[in-house]
């Protein structure tokens, strides 16, 4: 075999090895299927809850129509603990895209179209922690969101599940699965009043 043929064979083998190594690295780098959330731990929280849209509208600083841009698992989940390991607080930082601003404070830019908000829910492994049975925003689900700024200057969703209303209607992600008929009816009535107030019907 001539020198050039040996060189050609060697280059071909190296090329095939490089392609194979790249393919293996790509497959290994792909995200694994989501581990199902087996445990949901609901914790009671002292929170102000409004049952009338006019009172909620008057209280909040920012009302937007927007949607979460990431799946729940891919968001930033924050859990803090005391020195002895006892849970102190939890929340999720959720990136949203803003389609429309319905109400805003003077210092909020009218052309802002992205925002990170705080939701009263978090994830650790396959355990989801939630406050007052809150159900997290679903990726891509355009919703009316009622927000208040906390002492750190971050906007958080308030009013538990009565602080977010999908434009698509009521689904299994609107309220907890454990909701009673009365709670579901209250949610539906409140949602109707939100859609009517902001002319979203």
Work out the percent of the chain whose per-residue pLDDT is above 70: 81
**Maximum C-alpha span of the chain:** 88
Same domain for 170 and 96: yes
Same domain (yes/no): 119, 159? yes
Structural domains in the chain (count): 2
- My answer on whether 12 and 109 are in the same domain is no
| Domain co-membership, 52 together with 103 | yes
Residue 136 is given by DSSP the state P
Q: Evaluate if residue 38 carries a pLDDT over 70.
A: no
Strand partners for 129: 41, 122
- CATH number of the domain within which 131 lies: 2.40.50.120
Of the candidates 51, 49, 62, 59, the one whose C-alpha atom is nearest the C-alpha of residue 146 is: 62
The burial class, CB within 10 Å (0-12 / 13-18 / 19+), for 128 is buried
Q: Are residues 95 and 187 in the same domain?
A: yes
DSSP 9-35: HHHHHHHHHHHHHHHHHHHHHSPPPPP
Residue 82: which domain range?
39-197
Judge if 9 and 82 occupy the same domain: no
Are 93 and 132 found together in one domain?
yes
* Three-class SS state of 62: strand
Buried b (16+ CB within 10 A) or exposed e, 160-178: bbbbbbbbeeeeebbbbee
- Please give the model's pTM, rounded to 2 decimal places: 0.80
Contact 96, 145 (CB under 8 A): yes
* Amino acid 24: pLDDT: 45
Residues 6 and 47 in one domain: no
Say yes or no: 10 and 78 in one domain.
Answer: no
Position with higher pLDDT, 31 vs 191: 191
Could you tell me the sign of the dihedral formed by the alpha carbons of 100, 95, 67, 153, in that order? negative
What are the backbone angles phi and psi of residue 52, rounded to the nearest 5°?
A: -130, 135
Arithmetic mean of pLDDT over the chain: 86
Of the two residues 37 and 73, the one the predictor is more confident about is: 73
CA 162 to chain CA centroid, Å, is 16
Whether 96 and 16 share a structural domain: no
Q: Are 83 and 164 part of one and the same domain?
A: yes
Q: Is 7 left (phi over 0), alpha (psi -120 to 50) or beta?
A: alpha
Same domain, yes or no: 89 and 178? yes
| Contact call for residues 77 and 56 (beta carbons, < 8 A) | no
pLDDT tens digit string along 116-170? 999 999 999 999 999 999 999 999 999 999 999 999 999 999 999 999 999 999 9
């Amino acid at each position: 075999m001539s020198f050039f043929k040996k060189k050609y064979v060697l280059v071909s083998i190296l090329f095939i090895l490089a392609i194979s190594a790249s393919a293996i690295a790509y497959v290994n780098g792909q995200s694994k299927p989501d581990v199902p959330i087996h445990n949901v731990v609901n914790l009671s929280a002292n929170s102000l809850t409004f049952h009338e849209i006019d009172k909620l509208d008057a209280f909040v600083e920012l009302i937007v129509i927007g949607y979460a841009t990431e799946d729940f698992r891919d968001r930033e989940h924050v859990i803090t603990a005391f020195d002895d390991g006892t849970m102190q607080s939890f929340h999720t930082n959720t990136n949203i895209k803003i389609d429309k601003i319905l109400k805003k404070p003077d210092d909020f830019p009218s052309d802002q179209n992205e925002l990170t908000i705080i939701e009263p829910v978090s994830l650790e492994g396959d355990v989801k922690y939630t406050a007052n049975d809150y159900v997290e925003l679903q990726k891509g689900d355009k919703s009316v969101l009622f927000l208040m700024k906390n002492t750190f200057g971050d906007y958080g969703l308030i009013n538990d599940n009565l602080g977010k209303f999908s434009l698509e209607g009521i689904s299994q992600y609107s309220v907890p699965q454990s909701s009673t008929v009365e709670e579901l009816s209250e949610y539906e009535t409140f949602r109707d009043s939100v859609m009517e107030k902001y002319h979203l019907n």
